[in-house]
Chains A and B, each alone.
Chain A
């Protein structure tokens, strides 16, 4: 129930519409239920000779009888149409209202999920499973919306129909009502029980279907292996097994359905038969007229479908509860507060780490007592084996984690005092595997700076040395990237991402191994363009490429969380550290190369 509270909270703002819709729905149902009464009165009292005993609205209307049978039949026959007309109008209105309310709520749900996910921290996204998250945002939201637009209102409506029908029947004849309802509880319980149990069959079938999909998927992605080893027959056999298993599982569901529908249909007919039989008996005995039998017949028929549905609806609401749980699981993750302080100083680009140590929540020490200083405009290369803590160091500078010991200063200011958003806006971080959006090249480059001029875009592309590649595309800067557009090589992607960051003209730019897919020459050109451009930002470059590292103003060597060297190429090349060892091996290869092939 707590979960449904979340769902209804999205109705805030459209609660009025939603309630009005429910009220209209109930009124329309109520009015439509008068129709059998009208029919009955026409048959029994207008055409037949029975005394008219109705009071209330019907009684009032019937007091206008003229006595002219032809005229009366006409009037009251079309009175039924009038009732239906009103109730249909209301039905249309409530459908429209419920659509508006549900879509409003759905839009809120979608926005809320999207926004929440966007505002979750970097760490969450580094670990998140994209497919599962997308599933939650689409299927689970959809399930929840269906509950609002159909299930919930149908449960109320069905309950109401039953309530009104039963009370109308009771007002007509108590013994007839008892007889008319005698099988209803059984049908309801049976349908609820059935649909709860059917969920398991559905789950089992879904599992097999997932296996079917994965066999096809694997065959498609592994098509070269299958072909190269001529294993088509083996694959066909494998597929056939799961294909026929799926056939059996679906058949099992349909088999169960056929049991349910035939049994519940049979019960309904039995109930109607009982009404007709007993009703006829009473008519023969002179207890009431034929019209009464027809009215009960209509009521019972009308109540049968809802009764079967109610079982299904209740069983399916369980599904909504699961969906809501899956949504809550995402929403309970805390958002990152980007506006933690109001302090937004202008940032020049002096970076200093003083005795910084950090361990991850699980206890592994990643950084141990790191101290260094990078001056404004300097280029610093960060080198070290995988897992040495390079990326963590960058993350600390970005304030993705705040619980380190020691101090990090930007222009002499403790970064913990600087507004998070402002800080990040000033640090241009370029990822190794950047994500490009499904937009044109131009839109991708100016993604972070919407109002930038074409000139700025071209300039950024030039600095990132990607302008020539772009011009080679058929539609140049208007070429769409990604699905349905041009396929980019890893190097082109990285360079576009670099351009996208450089357009911001940040005082600090960080390359998190984001030149790895670019060739050495282009790598050098990009770094040169950056240095000679009008901004000349402080740059931190994580790289595995010795030529890149060698050119830096400062080389920082990280080994097992410790800073083992800090200085220019000349300063550190003769001391014992990783950089030195790499250089050694390098010259060894060089020697070998020349002696072997010279």
Chain B
């Protein structure tokens, strides 16, 4: 990890090494040519103008045209190669990052917000790759130009070179020092800018609340304070930032003046020629461009470094759930599940499950009931191997499931989420997600089986209707049905259902109930149950509280106990039923 960040990031360009080399070679050429240009001009002055040799001028014109042509070509190709390096690196890093995301366990996604992870792979990668490719160009070009100019100056006249370059340490040192200072100021501006965006977010999302409380004035004046702070910080940064350009300009002009003065004296004393004198003046004028570019890039490099660190941190995240490598055999999951003294905690010290044991025979359906936070979801998460037990074992078909490949386990799993997740694609494709090689007929058959076909056909575009984020026309109930069709299509041996707490429209309700029963048939299943009818139909009901099984048995057994289940049943299910009934009287 402590390895150089830039080198590690640069290693992603290894498939584009040819472009990288090409870019550096070309930029070297461009730098040398541009660096020696002032001396070429000086040579022209001495050998053409001063001698009055017009034949020479023709020759020089040809050389110059050649130079222009080669400049066009080199510039074209180095930008092209730099682009290849930039886009190639971005492609590779994103690919690696996405691959990593597919391998990370759920704990990562629970801890890191989607928005932040997204920006790692989008804006951060963009910034890093852009800065590396173009920063390398700026720096290598700048260095080559300056080195070329310096060498040529020293060759022509070391005294004059020393005088002309006298201000360079000031220019360099000042420039970089300055950028270091300004970075802090800009960071402050960005921070407050983030706060302003946050304020807009709150102001817009919370506008209705503000209105119901009649707090518009307060909200506006609070925002005013933030925007004022932004203004003040931005002005401060802007004014300090405004010093940079004039500073560089003054330093450069002092350099030119020194060249003019000492060169002028040398010319009058006939120590040097006019042409050489001109070369020095041109050089002193052009020397500050690279310095300017390099110190400006310096600030970008700092931002890119931070972004690069974040990317590498993502890529270095440890994968918690890994298949044991020495296992190639394909395991067809039957569906017998056993929890053996399983303990689990998401955060160290906060145990969710304690020494939990449970055996489910193949084909048995188990309903988990209990309050929020009782550990129901944890049991399901562990059974699906989204998490692994901190202690104890989970056996599938009598075998520790760590010895079964995740892919095998998950291929035999059907999972319907509480809030159904649909991709921003057609209904057809969303169902197909359950089994990628399914034909359209099979997909339609699956939908028919759970009575989703009719409502799908009623939609404007039928199976081609877009679901997901933009699919606002689908009700929650309908989305649930689609995600159930997905599970039917997958024909899993283990079925996991996290029932929705919120009630859905009456029509979907009936269909969902039927679909649930259909999916439970002959499958080992886990249901986090909120619906009375689902619970009643389960082979076994577990009442979970604080990670332990309080009661278990069939519905009638548990009701007869007149204990926790009975109470839960009356309080929770009963009331949900009431609310549902109220809604369906439309």
Tell me whether A88 and B121 are in contact (CB under 8 A). no
B246 at the interface (CB under 8 A from A): yes
B462 at the interface (CB under 8 A from A): no
| Most chain B CB inside 10 Å of its own CB: which residue of A229, A504, A581 | A229
Out of B54, B246, B571, name the residue touching A520 (CB < 8 Å): B571
B545 at the interface (CB under 8 A from A): no
Tell me whether A255 and B75 are in contact (CB under 8 A). no
Contacts of B44 in A (CB 8 A): 276, 280
Who on chain B is nearest to A586 by CB? B578
Q: Which of A56-64, A208-216, A358-366 forms part of the interface with chain B?
A: A208-216
The distance in angstroms between the C-alpha atoms of A385 and B586, with both chains bound, is 6
Within 8 A of B (CB), among A281-325: 281, 283-284, 290, 293-294, 297-298
Out of A251, A448, A546, name the residue touching B578 (CB < 8 Å): A546
Tell me whether A447 and B253 are in contact (CB under 8 A). no
The distance in angstroms between the C-alpha atoms of A212 and B582, with both chains bound, is 43
| Most chain A CB inside 10 Å of its own CB: which residue of B198, B424, B579, B585 | B585
Out of A43, A130, A228, A283, name the residue touching B205 (CB < 8 Å): A130
Within 8 A of A (CB), among B199-215: 199-215
B90 at the interface (CB under 8 A from A): yes
Tell me whether A80 and B71 are in contact (CB under 8 A). no
| Most chain A CB inside 10 Å of its own CB: which residue of B49, B282, B575, B579 | B49
Tell me whether A118 and B121 are in contact (CB under 8 A). no
Contacts of A212 in B (CB 8 A): 94, 122
Q: Mark B161-183, 1 if CB is under 8 A from A, else 0.
A: 00000000000000000000000
With A107-B231, A254-B87, A293-B49 as contacts: A434 and B209 at CB distance below 8 Å? yes
Tell me whether A226 and B102 are in contact (CB under 8 A). yes
A204 at the interface (CB under 8 A from B): no
Within 8 A of B (CB), among A545-592: 545-547, 578, 581-582, 585-586, 589
Tell me whether B203 and A92 are in contact (CB under 8 A). no
Tell me whether B224 and A447 are in contact (CB under 8 A). no
The distance in angstroms between the C-alpha atoms of A154 and B136, with both chains bound, is 28
Which secondary structure dominates chain B's binding surface?
helix
Contacts of A46 in B (CB 8 A): 264
Out of B49, B76, B208, name the residue touching A125 (CB < 8 Å): B208
Q: Which of B355-363, B408-416, B446-454, B511-519 forms part of the interface with chain A?
A: B408-416
B535 at the interface (CB under 8 A from A): no
Contacts of B258 in A (CB 8 A): 77
Measured between C-beta atoms, what is the minimum distance from A464 to chain B in Å?
15
Contacts of B560 in A (CB 8 A): 597
Out of A35, A231, A258, A269, name the residue touching B433 (CB < 8 Å): A231
Measured between C-beta atoms, what is the minimum distance from A100 to chain B in Å?
6
Out of A35, A110, A431, A544, name the residue touching B212 (CB < 8 Å): A431
B389 at the interface (CB under 8 A from A): no
With A225-B415, A229-B434, A266-B72 as contacts: A117 and B204 at CB distance below 8 Å? yes
Within 8 A of B (CB), among A77-93: 77-78, 80-81, 84-85, 87-89, 91-92
A171 at the interface (CB under 8 A from B): no
B151 at the interface (CB under 8 A from A): no
Q: Mark A28-54, 1 if CB is under 8 A from B, else 0.
A: 000010010001001100110000000
Tell me whether B224 and A216 are in contact (CB under 8 A). no
The distance in angstroms between the C-alpha atoms of A284 and B77, with both chains bound, is 38
The distance in angstroms between the C-alpha atoms of A564 and B384, with both chains bound, is 51
Tell me whether B212 and A424 are in contact (CB under 8 A). yes
Contacts of B282 in A (CB 8 A): 297
Tell me whether A544 and B582 are in contact (CB under 8 A). yes
Q: Mark B49-86, 1 if CB is under 8 A from A, else 0.
A: 10011100100110011011101110111011011101
The distance in angstroms between the C-alpha atoms of A386 and B476, with both chains bound, is 15
A106 at the interface (CB under 8 A from B): yes
With A78-B261, A258-B76, A520-B575 as contacts: A290 and B83 at CB distance below 8 Å? no
Out of B91, B235, B407, name the residue touching A244 (CB < 8 Å): B91
Tell me whether A77 and B556 are in contact (CB under 8 A). no
Contacts of A134 in B (CB 8 A): 197, 200-201, 204
Tell me whether A91 and B214 are in contact (CB under 8 A). no
Out of B95, B206, B256, name the residue touching A437 (CB < 8 Å): B206
Tell me whether B206 and A284 are in contact (CB under 8 A). no
The distance in angstroms between the C-alpha atoms of A47 and B261, with both chains bound, is 10
Tell me whether A239 and B98 are in contact (CB under 8 A). yes
Tell me whether A229 and B215 are in contact (CB under 8 A). no
Tell me whether A429 and B212 are in contact (CB under 8 A). yes
Tell me whether B264 and A73 are in contact (CB under 8 A). yes
Tell me whether B260 and A73 are in contact (CB under 8 A). yes
Out of A117, A223, A589, name the residue touching B203 (CB < 8 Å): A117
Tell me whether B102 and A273 are in contact (CB under 8 A). no
The distance in angstroms between the C-alpha atoms of A450 and B213, with both chains bound, is 12
Tell me whether B261 and A447 are in contact (CB under 8 A). no
Who on chain B is nearest to A335 by CB? B216
Tell me whether B220 and A219 are in contact (CB under 8 A). no
Measured between C-beta atoms, what is the minimum distance from A365 to chain B in Å?
17
Contacts of B204 in A (CB 8 A): 117, 125, 128, 130, 133-134, 137
Tell me whether B235 and A263 are in contact (CB under 8 A). no
Who on chain B is nearest to A259 by CB? B76
Contacts of A239 in B (CB 8 A): 94-95, 98
Tell me whether B410 and A424 are in contact (CB under 8 A). no
Contacts of A437 in B (CB 8 A): 202, 206
Tell me whether A229 and B415 are in contact (CB under 8 A). yes
B312 at the interface (CB under 8 A from A): no
B17 at the interface (CB under 8 A from A): no
| Most chain B CB inside 10 Å of its own CB: which residue of A106, A283, A284 | A284
The distance in angstroms between the C-alpha atoms of A119 and B224, with both chains bound, is 15
Out of A227, A254, A281, A546, name the residue touching B410 (CB < 8 Å): A227
Measured between C-beta atoms, what is the minimum distance from B356 to chain A in Å?
21
Measured between C-beta atoms, what is the minimum distance from B368 to chain A in Å?
17
Identify 12 residue pairs between A and B in the complex whose beta-carbon atoms are under 8 Å apart, listed by A's number: A42-B260, A80-B253, A110-B223, A114-B203, A128-B207, A216-B121, A216-B122, A228-B496, A229-B410, A240-B95, A247-B88, A263-B72
* Chain A residues with a Cβ under 8 A of chain B: 32, 35, 39, 42-43, 46-47, 69-70, 73-74, 77-78, 80-81, 84-85, 87-89, 91-92, 95-96, 99-100, 103-104, 106-107, 110-111, 114-115, 117-122, 125-126, 128, 130, 133-134, 137-138, 209, 212-214, 216-232, 234-236, 239-240, 243-244, 246-248, 250-251, 254-255, 257-259, 261-263, 265-266, 269-270, 273, 276-277, 280-281, 283-284, 290, 293-294, 297-298, 338, 383, 385-387, 421, 424-425, 428-431, 434-435, 437-438, 447-448, 450, 483, 489, 497, 500-501, 504, 519-520, 544-547, 578, 581-582, 585-586, 589, 593, 597
